[in-house]
Amino acid sequence: MANIKNKTQAVKSAPELARTDSRADASLLSRLSDPAIIRTFTDEQLRVLADEVRANTIAAVSRTGGHLGAGLGVVELTVALHAVFSTPEDRLIWDVGHQCYPHKILTGRRDRIHTLRQGGGLSGFTKRSESEYDPFGAAHSSTSISAGLGMAVARDLEGGGRNVICVIGDGAMSAGMAYEAMNNAGSLKSRLIVILNDNDMSIDRPVGAMSKYLTRLVSSRTYIGAREAGKKVVDMFPLPLRHAVKRVEETARMALGTGTWFEEMGFYYIGPLDGHNLDHLLPVLRNLRDSPYPGPVLIHAITKKGKGYAPAETSDDKMHGVAKFDVITGSQHKAKAAAPTYTKVFAQSLIAEARHDKKIVGITAAMCSGTGIDLFGKEFPDRMFDVGIAEQHAVTFAAGLASEGYKPFCALYSTFLQRAYDQVVHDVCIQNLPVRFAIDRAGLVGADGQTHAGSFDIAYLGCLPHMILMAAADEAELMHMVRTAAHYSDGPIAFRYPRGEGTGITLPDRGKILEIGKGRIVREGADVALLSYGTRLGECLRAADLLQEKGLSATVADARFAKPLDRELIRQLATHHEKMITIEEGAIGGFGSYVLEFMNEEGLLSKCRLRTLHLPDIFQDHHTPEKQYEEAGLVAAHIARKAYRNI
């Protein structure tokens, strides 16, 4: 079997990795005052550099937590790309920032790598404002080819000669946007290099000595030039002979890999090759850098997620997302949960409802464990569907199921549902189909920062006719909303809940069916009304306690529904209080705006002054969730201060 010996040798023990990191001050990395120095290293030095980058990546993530496996899988590829291409003049785009930590280490951020995902520290994703070496911000997947093609066309319009390289993971290739971009790239014929980081295929068969030689051959200037010249000659042949010659070349290239499909998309295919072997990577990349080939090229690189760190390689998820961990053992330092997570409560509630209703099915888009749908799938494997990184398809697929009388629960993160907005509008709401949207990661998400913060779903769903909107104040309320959604079949319905642990409230055996559009009074008061939508209810109750110390009596209410509003509840609060404050974990234009408009229409603003508290009109940087909500002014002290000063 090819390269088994090399592969085994590459997997260093944890103590060896720790020792490598401790020698960092005398390393090649310490010499990189300018990333351009990488291009002066010999091939042997680049191999040493790759080992040092891997050790630094492991050491950094062990201290901060974050995404480990994806970065370890592209260490050699990252070193090779920066050694061959003149970044940042040559544009290097990483699809999904999970794999960008080695890139950050090599591009002047090694001294800050220990601040990854910490408040005021480095982002866990590529970020344009962070470094000139990050030409495009990426945290959602499948965007790199589209962005890279835009940069390539801009270069062509300017008459420039820079290279544009996109690195896209094979998981990201399951999204339609990647294929739309490839189709466009194939027709435009702009020079573009796409590297398919394929970490889901055995590397034994395609990376033997013959494959290495042939792959280098087809990437060479001589072969490419001869092939293009040959095409011009073949175009003069009669049609039957032209087709025969084409089939001969396709057959020969099929012997190297699986590139015919990419060739049909208009890409020149090279591969597959071992993405961990610099002897394979460097010659191919240098050939392409020096090649006059004018069109798009795809390099198929086979990699192994978690490569070079035994605990990651043997982990089921390859240590994709980790808490702080011990480098020697790989054991993660996860705090013991005080309460079940909202995600788990959702999953268990959905399972409970599905036991009573065979029409219930679960759908997600490559986020089985993240949404809890994996738990549902273990009990109902025939009723769980993971459609891949394809949120648009997930929503329309759910609409199709709903049109046939099934009860689909489409479980997506708030920010991922954004990618399917057109389908929510046209395929679900216009047809008034009863798709149930379980919106995870609603509100602020801490270390994942701007790109994963669920800030906008209240506003972007609330403006859609037929849509019912709910937000759970705690785990028990979430259980009620799952059952309510399962019972509701008059149209689309959505319920949102945050990341992380719940409040620890006692849970019922099964949720109850809520009356649509009805909230609840949690605490009675006389001076000010605090109307909460979502999990800020606990902070509102604490704010009421603070106001009580100031001699003010506060009513605390849980709206439960943003659409339809509980008009009777709002009238009652406005009639009996001088002031009302709405509190929500969403952007401006959401729940507070709906309440404000209703009170204006009803003439209630002359009786009760209304203030709305919501997330600030900015993209908040990553930090702990507690600090983010403090910065947003959605904690008890701020709520109480707002009420006291404006009473």
Q: What is the pLDDT of residues 147-176, one digit of tens each?
A: 999 999 999 999 999 999 999 986 788 788
E strand or H helix at 125, and its extent?
A: none
Rounded CA-CA distance 52/55 in Å is: 5
Of 8-17, 288-297, 499-508, which range is least confident?
8-17
116 within 8 A of 61, measured Cβ to Cβ: yes
Instruction: Please tell me the pTM assigned to this model.
Output: 0.82
pLDDT at 26: 56
pLDDT of residue 364: 96
Helix axes 209-218, 278-290, angle to 10 degrees: 10
Instruction: Give pLDDT, residue 127.
Output: 86
Q: Which H, E and C letters describe 375-405, residue by residue?
A: HHHHHCHHHEEECCCCHHHHHHHHHHHHHCC
Q: At what angle do helices 342-356 and 475-487 cross, to 10 degrees?
A: 30
299-346 residue pLDDT tens: 999 998 889 888 888 887 777 878 887 888 888 877 777 789 999 999
**CA-based nearest residue to 459, from 426, 403, 394, 414:** 414
The answer, yes or no, to whether residue 33 has pLDDT greater than 90, is no
Provide the pLDDT for residue 219. 59
Residue 110 CA from chain centroid, whole number: 24
Exposure string of 243-274, with b = 16+ CB inside 10 Å and e = fewer, is: eeeeeeeeeebeebbebeebbebbbbbbbbbb
The radius of gyration of the chain's CA atoms, rounded to the nearest angstrom, is 28
Q: What is the pLDDT of residues 167-201, one digit of tens each?
A: 998 678 878 888 899 999 999 989 999 999 988 64
How many Å apart are CA 589 and CA 604, to the nearest integer? 19
For the chain, first and last CA: distance in Å?
A: 77
Q: How far apart are CA 470 and CA 559, in angstroms?
A: 9
Region of poorest pLDDT, from 449-458, 562-571, 594-603: 449-458
In angstroms, rounded to a whole number, what is the distance separating the alpha carbons of residues 105 and 152?
A: 26
Closest CA to 449 of 627, 638, 306: 627
User: In whole angstroms, what is the distance from residue 584 CA to residue 616 CA?
Assistant: 11
Query: Do 458 and 590 touch, CB atoms closer than 8 A?
Result: yes
pLDDT of residue 236: 56
- 249 vs 400: CA distance, rounded Å: 42
CA atoms of 430 and 407, how far apart (whole Å): 18
The predicted structure's pLDDT at residue 441: 95
3-class SS at 543? helix
Lowest mean pLDDT among 133-137, 163-167, 258-262, 543-547: 258-262
DSSP bridge pairs for 386 = 364
Name the pLDDT band for 66 (thresholds 50, 70, 90). confident
Known catalytic residues? 305, 391, 419
Q: Identify whether the C-beta of residue 410 lies closer than 8 Å to the C-beta of residue 447.
A: no
Give the residue-averaged pLDDT of 27-46.
93
**pLDDT band for position 202 (50/70/90)?**
very low
